[in-house]
Amino acid sequence: MTQHSQIKADPMAIMRLLKDEQGNMPKGLPPVHKWNPDFCGDIPMQIKANGQWFYMGTPIGRPALVKLFSSILRHDDDGCFYLITPVEKVRIVVDDAPLIATLVDKIEEDGVSYLRFTTLTEDVVIADAKHALWVKYDEQGEPRPYIRVRDNLDALIARNVFYQLVEWAEVVELEGQSCYAVQSAGQWFKIAACELQ
């Protein structure tokens, strides 16, 4: 079992790792957290638990449109999800997490491991102190892993991505308990408890 030690992550390394293949930083998102328009009511839009977006019961088939909607999505303190513009605020239904992490890369730089996640809507995030990774279990005992992506928005980690994390996991002691955990940006994230023999 590994005793975890604190490793200092380089903030500049995180910035470099967020760049795309062409070396471009992700485009900035609209400042929805600064907008405070009047509430305009509910619209018949829903994000299913599998990450698929629907409007009036019909799947939204255009990825560019889904990406646009996701860029103006906000999760407010009342627990509801809204699409926000400077002039209007409409509530939508989200069954679970609004985003889905469909890819993970493990990158080593200067002796530090970084887990870089990409969502279906092309958000790129490094698991770190501000972008925590955690696992809940449903009523059947099945794992439901998540990562904080931005503001108050989380992504469900797709099953194949979670299996990759399980492969990378180490047995470590966190908060006095043995568990399986992965490391990213100097942080350890628990993904499963160790069964005591």
For 82-110, how does the pLDDT look when each residue is reduced to its tens digit (9 = 90+)?
999 988 999 999 999 999 999 999 999 88
Class of domain 32-94: alpha beta
If one compares 4 and 123, the residue with the highest pLDDT of the two is 123
Contact between 192 and 135 (Cβ < 8 Å):
yes
Average of pLDDT values for 132-146?
A: 90
Residue 20 has pLDDT above 60, yes or no: no
Residue 184 has pLDDT above 80, yes or no: yes
CATH 3.10.540.10, the chain: domain bounds: 32-94
> Structure pTM?
0.82
Rounded-to-integer distance, Cα 180 and Cα 168, Å? 9
pLDDT band at 38 (very low <50, low <70, confident <90, very high): very high
Average of pLDDT values for 158-180?
A: 91
Residue 2 dihedral angles phi and psi, to the nearest 5°: -95, 130
Rounded-to-integer distance, Cα 190 and Cα 187, Å? 10
Catalogue the E-assigned strands of 95-184.
Answer: 99-109, 112-119, 124-126, 133-137, 143-150, 153-157, 170-174, 177-184
What's the fold here for domain 2-23+98-193?
duf1285 protein fold (2.30.270)
**CB under 8 Å to 61, separation ≥6 — which residues?**
none
Alpha-carbon separation of residue 124 from 18, 24, 38, 174 (angstroms): 6, 12, 31, 27
Residue 2 has pLDDT above 90, yes or no: no
27's enclosing H/E stretch is none
CATH 2.30.270.10, the chain: domain bounds: 2-23+98-193
